[in-house]
Structure 1
Amino acid sequence: MERRHILVVNLAGAGHVLPSLGVIAELVDRGHRVTYVTNEKFAPTVESVGARALLYKSVFDDAHLPDLAAAADAETQVHLVHLAENEAILRPVERELADDPPDLLLYDVFPFIAARLLATRWDVPAVRMWPIFASTPVYSIFEELWRSHGFRHPAEVGPFRDRLTPLLAEFGVALSIRDFWSEIEELNVVFIPRSFQIAAESCDERYVFVGPGSAQQDPVDGWRPRDPDRPVLLVSLGTTFNEHPEFFQEFARAFDGTSWQVVLAVGEFLDPDVLGALPDNVEAHRWIPFPEVLRHASACVTQGTTGAVMEALSWGVPLLVVPDYATEAEPSADRVVELGLGHRLTLDQVVADTLADTVRRLVDDPEVRRRVDRMRQDIHEAGGAARAAEAIEGLLAARADTGRADTGRATSLH
């Protein structure tokens, strides 16, 4: 089809950027020009798939989400930082592309405020990407996460409402905050298979479940086990709520002297040296590409966020989920347990004396293995980046046809 300019609006975080890369690469390969909003950290990553990076200064460079979530006024602080991040994206993009607006806007669930305002300003179609469960007419991932924190809807939080209301008016949005928040786009690209989605029966033709496109790609040669005949365990708490050295130390002690090779992915906010001396069969990394380890792994321990869960399942790896440190992981972790794809660990079960047996029981459970294999098949049959790109091009083509039809009708009326 005709080459188009596509703007991608995303949060500068691994769990948001990485799921989108396969789709962006596919769109570039199909001849489209892609501008990708990100920060300096992720600019090389998005440029590696052929997009142009449009930089913004993320508020999360200076604000640590776990600290905000623990504050006395956490509800207000968390809602306001969400809005501040959207504002940090909105103004630079509006200025930068004033003379080069996109033909379509593709955006992640988190910066939807900025993205939908920009789409309104330029009167272009918008597609929402969901790296988590998609909100539907009967299910809201936002409301589930707010409930897990004990938060109200942002529309009920005075400081948030007072900042967003004039912003909506400035961009000509006549909807209430609640209606603006809950509106469903004409096309939603969901990076999970339909079988993992909550309330999937409520998802109509506006939802395209493509699976985790980036996780389906073979990783570049990197990490390899020292002994290919020994089982591998990957342990991670993600990239945000990971400052818990005692958690990783329990796993190190539990597998000391066993046949397992244990990879601890401790995140950028935890210095591996804090863990102290590790057994020979345990190694710690601030960051390591999960696919490099998962392709060899027998089990994965994770906080349970959707991205980590999808990566593990795409490689057929059963899960132990520990969402207690990261409440945003609760919905996905609960879904893992509900579908029988793994087991949940409570914090009082993270003790060296029992962890090795817990992992072995997981790995030896034939019913878990059967269900994980089925989900892996669903992921690989979902269509990935190619299906997402086809849906996006389909929307562009439909809008172009509508425009031509409107032009024709206008001509015939004069």
Structure 2
Amino acid sequence: MALLTIPATGHVNPTLDLAAELVRRGHQVTYVVPEPYGWAARLTGAGHVAYDSTLVPAPAETPPGPEFAAWLPFVLLEETKHVLPQLVPLMTSLPPDVLVFDRTTYVTARALVDIVGCQSVELFPSFAYNEHFDIAGDLERATILNPGHDAYRQLSDGYAGLAKEWGTTAVTVEEFAVGRADRAVVAIPREFQPAGGTFPASYVFAGPALRTRHAPKPSAQRRGVYAALGTSFTQRADTFRAIARAIETTGRPGLLAVGDLAPDQVPPSTEAVRVVREADQLAELASAEVFVTHAGMGSVQEALALGVPMVCLPQTTEQHAVAARVAELGLGVALGDAPSPAEVGAAIDQVSGDEQVRARVDEWAWLLESLDAGALGADAVQDALAASVAD
């Protein structure tokens, strides 16, 4: 079995329990991911084949709003053009029975499945999509999903040219936007998925992968604020400064992880707020009272698993959708992507003091503890393997 994903923490972490469980069941699993993430193979006992990626290093800045919806598909198309010449010889010389692929590698995976003739399982690290739910909504319909838009025509032509070059069936813009698949594993519980009841049983909502990473038990004594804004698109100096000032105004201790923020933009540590480059997020969440987050799906699911209410400061289209879902379910507050210190401080106080939010977060922690992402995902992959054997 081959497991294809991109070099991004939020896309590698959801694969860990699945890979470890497949290895435990005796399957030969090979991660296909760039070298910076070879640790995933070592952690799970899988093999590893590295490929060169246009996505390393990860983008530090992102276009705003509608530009992002049109920009990302072209970035991923260029990645497909770059990686197919590397992966086709690999897959044809040692064809997998099943290709498990991250949603962002959809175009690459569709071509590989056509060429190799194997079964496939799509992995959604965030929301799954169908005709009842589209995270981009009107935003994308104004760009790539509008056949009259230049971006639509350019992307469609790009997919057609790729298919002609490799002798495969062309992916349509609509197929890419939805990530249409016969079998899928989704790294969230069905209850968190908007329109969750409209997805078929072949879409397995397995929940987040936390067992292989040995997530700690939540602390009975919670204190302070943990803040982090993910590992991509992190050049948000004004937002980091606003968070630091906000934590100070609440009178709570805080830990602020700024990632690869430019050195001259890193806010200084103070008596109240310690500023670091990186932190053990699961360990910090286990004892945090409030989590200030960019609302990446992985971070949100980790917070829920460890019972931490959230203040969401989303930036990308998907993060805004995740933040809106957090607020809709009463698990935290969603702010804009450039809030003032006063707004962040008020939101921290609000979610910290709301007993109903705390009770709902505790319910979600129980729900996520009941899910075994590795076993559920491995069952889905084995179903695909059985279909391969039958063929």
Same fold (TM over 0.5): yes
Q: Any idea what SS the aligned residue of 1:60 has?
A: coil
The aligned amino acid for 1:17 is V
The aligned amino acid for 2:305 is S
Q: Does 2:54 align with 1:54?
A: no
The aligned amino acid for 1:118 is L
1:30 is matched with 25
Alpha-carbon separation, structure 2, partners of 1:295 and 1:75: 34
Q: Tell me the CA shift for residue 217 of structure 1.
A: 4.7
Q: String of CA shifts for 1:58-106, please: whole Å, max 9, x gaps.
A: 2123673625x26997666433211011222322111223211101000
Among 348, 364, 379, the residue aligned to 2:353: 364
Alpha-carbon separation, structure 2, partners of 1:75 and 1:183: 15
Alpha-carbon separation, structure 1, partners of 2:3 and 2:167: 22
Among 254, 270, 276, the residue aligned to 1:279: 270
1:252 is matched with 244
TM-score calculated relative to the size of structure 2: 0.89
Alpha-carbon separation, structure 1, partners of 2:146 and 2:19: 31
Q: Any idea what SS the aligned residue of 1:300 has?
A: strand
Unaligned runs of 5+ in 1: 1-5, 404-414
Name the CA shift for 1:183/1:260 in 2 (closer, same or farther; >3 Å).
Answer: closer
Q: Does 2:204 align with 1:208?
A: yes
Alpha-carbon separation, structure 1, partners of 2:301 and 2:280: 14
Q: Does 2:11 align with 1:19?
A: no
Name the CA shift for 1:212/1:98 in 2 (closer, same or farther; >3 Å).
Answer: same
Contact 2:295–2:320 (8 Å) recurs in 1: yes
Q: Which has the larger radius of gyration?
A: 1
Contact 2:207–2:372 (8 Å) recurs in 1: yes
2:254 is matched with 262
Alpha-carbon separation, structure 2, partners of 1:211 and 1:345: 25
Task: Give matches, 1:199-348, under 5 Å.
Answer: 199-214=195-210, 217-219=213-215, 231-256=223-248, 260-271=252-263, 274-323=265-314, 325-346=315-336
The aligned amino acid for 1:231 is R
Q: Any idea what SS the aligned residue of 1:250 has?
A: helix
Q: Tell me the CA shift for residue 345 of structure 1.
A: 2.3
The aligned amino acid for 1:254 is A
1:66 is matched with 61
Among 77, 82, 88, the residue aligned to 2:82: 88
Q: String of CA shifts for 1:170-222, please: whole Å, max 9, x gaps.
A: 4444456146434632211010001000111211111111100237853489x
Q: Which has the higher contact order (CA 8 A, sep 6+)?
A: 2
Task: Give matches, 1:345-356, under 5 Å.
Answer: 345-346=335-336, 349-351=339-341, 353=342, 355-356=344-345
Alpha-carbon separation, structure 2, partners of 1:175 and 1:300: 43
Task: Give matches, 1:89-168, under 5 Å.
Answer: 89-141=83-135, 143-144=136-137, 147=139, 151-153=143-145, 157=151, 158-168=153-163
Contact 2:8–2:58 (8 Å) recurs in 1: no
Unaligned runs of 5+ in 2: none
Name the CA shift for 1:246/1:348 in 2 (closer, same or farther; >3 Å).
Answer: closer
Q: Any idea what SS the aligned residue of 1:112 has?
A: helix
Q: CA RMSD in A?
A: 3.0
1:406 is matched with none
Name the CA shift for 1:102/1:216 in 2 (closer, same or farther; >3 Å).
Answer: closer
Alpha-carbon separation, structure 2, partners of 1:184 and 1:230: 42
